[in-house]
Structure 1
Amino acid sequence: MATLTVHPDRLLPPDPGVREIARRLYHAVRDLPIISPHGHVDSRMLLDDEPFADPTALFIQPDHYVTRLLHAGGVALDRLGVGEGALAEDRAREAWRLLCGHWHLLRGTPVRYWFDSELAEIFGVTERPDADNADALYDRIAEQLRQPSHRPRALLRRFGIEFLATTDDPADDLRAHEALRAEPDVATTVAPTFRPDRYLEIGRPGWAATVKGLGGDVGDYAGYLAALEERRRYFIARGAVSADHGHADAGTEPLARHDAERIYRAALAGTAAAAEAAAFRRHMTFEMARMSCDDGLVMTLHPGIHRNHHPATSDRYGPDTGHDIPVAVEYTRALQPLLQRFGTHPGFHLVLFTVDPDVYSREIAPLAGFYPAVYAGAPWWFVDNPAEIGRFQEAVTEIAGFSRLSGFIDDTRAFCSIPARHDMSRRLDAGFLAGLVAAHRLDEDEALDTLRTLVSDQPRKVFKL
């Protein structure tokens, strides 16, 4: 049986001298609290604090990072329970066998790195998963999941998460967040995030019915703006610090008021053309920045995803099931209207993310290197891997410096991967800074101060915690 190896120096530089510096830096920040200002953990899971159903429900079903790799290797998503709720034990066990039997598909991916860390450090697993030991590993993990030590709140404390942001619909009542704030055994701040995309995309099927969920009088454009502003205030009162936006492009060209009103009326009637819908969405992205200047919510922007690339999978299993695919994106011209108006506004924070790594050095770093409002969001989703993070470190800091970075963002639904993801970031940052020390570009005390800032101070500053 092969051993599951979790090396203490994993991801640190191979050069012995640089690695020794990196070790010192990493160990100084290894145990600092986790700040997670953008993610997708369900707040109700933490409120209910029910034991996780089984290893499949914990590791496979909610994690499209895992399911897409298995699907690419020939495993049908229905065999993994994608898009379903709790599975009967025989099906949950079978899905786990499929993961273990296809463990080789994860080689070289960050998913494998996270899995190794989770299995070893949370569940004490010492054997590499395979088809032969799948059932034994399932039983071992399932037994631990039934223990108080592995319930959601206990793990939340064990992970050392100081701040955890969820992602929420503007119409959500946020009762789970309110209840969590009153729980004496929950020291973590669990904050909602305002995610208005489906209320801004007037071309989506059913939008006219959807927008009524905002409440208020949304029968005209003025009422629609007022309803969005009211829902933002509602979120802020319940701890929200940011508003998150993920559209097809980064366009922010504002419309004349009469054009916005006209297109809004057409959208309610179901007669808005596709070009009008795109123009209105870009206008509303501009308006979201205006609202952030007024109410203080940090604005995060992550365009450039072709959602639901495989319609048959979307129809059968729903969204967020592994087939959202990156496309090229442009920021410089697209954001110019927004930044011309708000880029130097006191207190406005705009964090730019991308899954198109070419734009880091070409556009995001130069924008962050000039506009006080702009910060470069950490690599996420398809580029949250060691190679791309290394390229990001060089591409952005050479142009904008460390002070213009967001700090690490885990962006995950996979609860147990949060500490593994943050640990990966700390190791990679330690290695990068150690290289600067070894090249005599930084003194070690400066590198240590920078690393501590990236881990703790920077996300607090950027997200106004």
Structure 2
Amino acid sequence: MPDLTFASGDRERDIARDLHALTAELPLICPHGHIDPRILADDAPFGDPAQLLVVPDHYVTRMLLSQGIPPGRLGVPARTGEPVETDGRTIWRLLAENWYLFRGTPSRLWLERTFDTVFDVRTPLRPETADDIYDAIAARLAEPSFRPRALFEKFGIEVLATTESPLDDLTQHAKLEADGWKGRVITTFRPDNVVDMEFDGWAHAVARLGEVAGTDTTRFGGYLDALRRRRADFIAAGATSSDHGHPTALTIDLPAADAAAIYERGLAGTASAADRELFRAHMLMEFARMSIDDGLVMQLHPGAVRNHNRWLHDMHGRDTGGDIPQATDYVHGLRPLLDAYGNDPRLRVVLYTLDEDTFSRELAPLAGGYAALYLGAPWWFLDTPDGLRRFREAVTDSAGFYNTAGFVDDTRAFCSIPVRHDIARRVDAAYLAGLVTQGRLPYDEAAETIQDLAYHLPKHIFRLDGEK
């Protein structure tokens, strides 16, 4: 499908085609994702097609759950220890039987493009073709050229950022470094489990943080010191950014004594809901100060009500499809942080949203008015062809192109990475082609812009070019 996502008019479609072609040889910059680094550190052959393409993909399992098919039937591990389906062919057949549920969804588009462009399988998925497709993909996965590191190189990935907790010992990244493999895989500092008091076992995680960092985290000062030390460890392992997934965008700079008192209540198990929100808000200020000192780009993606589907969380844990977007206030929530540091050239904050209404009303004007702010790509429920198009339409008037930070795939599905990047590049090519045909942008500037959006901007903004 050479004209996927392009306009139907001949001239605009031809321009989009030409612009997209300019990105064909550009490497992939993947500054925000959730691939397990063990996949690349071990470089073992992938498991069966279901284990690769279905079990870890909560976009897929979530849709099937909505129609009464529990994740256990799709092989998703259970926290309760209950048995789940382990036969890949059975899982694959179940997906094929319910493939009609994905009509019109990005999940179907991503999977079909993965079948086609990664595995060279073009047979439409149907119950009657399920076994043939399964066997064809399984045969590919048995080939040396389909091992993780070989695919990394085939996909043209220049840099891939994984995401780890401050409690992670970064062993997998050390193994990658020691192996001398040329692929660049870096970590990202994600401290939510030691910041958000609503995480299960927060106090235990904080104690463990002290052990890992060699500080006394029974004191708030020791806790902050532990975070600084771990950030330094992550930077030594290649990190250029941190990642913060708070429920809201609230920031506040509490007096040190007040922050310490809330921290102590948290350790004692007596912190209120208001305490927990204030602590998260204060810690964003602390992390902004740390970023100014150590140079980590600060990513903030608020707005998810985590584990809204409590049954799903109780059965299968976090990150299995049970989260729901909520409305988010950025203008007032971020003001304390922006008042303090929004014009400091040493700080970079890449801001995401699940609340699409805020793109034109709040986020684009904010990014267009503060030196420290950049707009992250549409994320999660919005990283779709239509969502990406609406993003450009909503933010370009106020923020332009150069206050946006490029595409992030935000995926756990390794083989979907090139597909997602290609679709994002196609959407941008189509949008720019529209500006050219309307006489709003010369073609040569559109050609420069598409390459910046696809490659140069994310590389620069996430400090992957070595700039501090």
Aligned to 2:379: 380
Task: Kindly state the Cα deviation for residue 388 of structure 1 after the two structures are TM-superposed.
Answer: 1.5
Q: Residues 88, 437 of structure 1: CA spacing in aligned structure 2 closer, same or farther, 3 A cutoff?
A: same
What's the RMSD between the two structures over aligned residues? Answer: 1.4
Provide the rounded CA distance (Å) in 2 between the counterparts of 1:204 and 1:272. 13
Task: Kindly state the Cα deviation for residue 333 of structure 1 after the two structures are TM-superposed.
Answer: 0.3
Provide the rounded CA distance (Å) in 2 between the counterparts of 1:120 and 1:21. 25
SS in 2 for 1:404: coil
Provide the rounded CA distance (Å) in 1 between the counterparts of 2:261 and 2:98. 54
Aligned to 2:33: 39
Task: Kindly state the Cα deviation for residue 83 of structure 1 after the two structures are TM-superposed.
Answer: 2.3
Task: Kindly state the Cα deviation for residue 84 of structure 1 after the two structures are TM-superposed.
Answer: 5.7
2:227 maps to 1:232: no
Task: Kindly state the Cα deviation for residue 182 of structure 1 after the two structures are TM-superposed.
Answer: 3.2
SS in 2 for 1:333: coil
Residues 427-454 of structure 1 show CA distances to partners (whole Å, capped at 9, x for unaligned) of 0100000000000111110000000011
Select which of 125, 128, 142 maps to 1:129. Answer: 125
Q: Residues 435, 50 of structure 1: CA spacing in aligned structure 2 closer, same or farther, 3 A cutoff?
A: same
Aligned to 2:192: 197
Task: Kindly state the Cα deviation for residue 88 of structure 1 after the two structures are TM-superposed.
Answer: 9.7
2:77 and 2:84 in contact (8 A); partners too: no
Alignment of 1:101-112 (within 5 A): 101-112=97-108
Task: Kindly state the Cα deviation for residue 156 of structure 1 after the two structures are TM-superposed.
Answer: 0.6
SS in 2 for 1:451: helix
Provide the rounded CA distance (Å) in 1 between the counterparts of 2:262 and 2:93. 52
Q: Residues 327, 353 of structure 1: CA spacing in aligned structure 2 closer, same or farther, 3 A cutoff?
A: same
1:163 and 1:188 in contact (8 A); partners too: yes
Aligned to 1:78: 72
1:203 and 1:267 in contact (8 A); partners too: no
Aligned to 1:3: none
Aligned to 1:164: 160
Provide the rounded CA distance (Å) in 2 between the counterparts of 1:392 and 1:118. 24
Select which of 125, 141, 146 maps to 2:142. Answer: 146
1:203 and 1:272 in contact (8 A); partners too: no
The runs of 5 or more residues in structure 1 that have no matched partner are: 1-6
Counterpart of 2:11, as a letter, is: G
Select which of 102, 113, 124 maps to 1:117. Answer: 113
2:424 maps to 1:425: yes
SS in 1 for 2:425: helix
The runs of 5 or more residues in structure 2 that have no matched partner are: none
Residues 208-240 of structure 1 show CA distances to partners (whole Å, capped at 9, x for unaligned) of 111012122101111011001111111011100
Task: Kindly state the Cα deviation for residue 90 of structure 1 after the two structures are TM-superposed.
Answer: 6.6
Aligned to 2:256: 257
Provide the rounded CA distance (Å) in 2 between the counterparts of 1:335 and 1:310. 28
Counterpart of 2:111, as a letter, is: F
Provide the rounded CA distance (Å) in 2 between the counterparts of 1:447 and 1:179. 42
Counterpart of 1:449, as a letter, is: E
1:378 and 1:405 in contact (8 A); partners too: yes
Residues 328-365 of structure 1 show CA distances to partners (whole Å, capped at 9, x for unaligned) of 11100000000111111122100110011101111110
Aligned to 1:277: 276
Residues 49-72 of structure 1 show CA distances to partners (whole Å, capped at 9, x for unaligned) of 111110011000111011111222
Residues 97-117 of structure 1 show CA distances to partners (whole Å, capped at 9, x for unaligned) of 011111111111111111111
Alignment of 1:14-33 (within 5 A): 14-33=8-27
Task: Kindly state the Cα deviation for residue 162 of structure 1 after the two structures are TM-superposed.
Answer: 0.3
Provide the rounded CA distance (Å) in 2 between the counterparts of 1:158 and 1:182. 22
SS in 2 for 1:244: strand
Aligned to 2:59: 65
Counterpart of 1:390, as a letter, is: R
The size of the alignment, in residue pairs, is 457
SS in 2 for 1:131: coil
Residues 156-204 of structure 1 show CA distances to partners (whole Å, capped at 9, x for unaligned) of 11100001000101111112112212334x3321110000011111244
Aligned to 2:393: 394
1:117 and 1:420 in contact (8 A); partners too: yes
% identical equivalent positions: 51
Provide the rounded CA distance (Å) in 2 between the counterparts of 1:303 and 1:334. 11
Counterpart of 1:434, as a letter, is: A
Tell me the TM-score normalized by structure 1: 0.96
SS in 1 for 2:402: helix
Provide the rounded CA distance (Å) in 2 between the counterparts of 1:428 and 1:205. 39
Residues 29-87 of structure 1 show CA distances to partners (whole Å, capped at 9, x for unaligned) of 122100000000010110111111100110001110111112223322111011269x9
Counterpart of 1:187, as a letter, is: K
Aligned to 1:100: 96
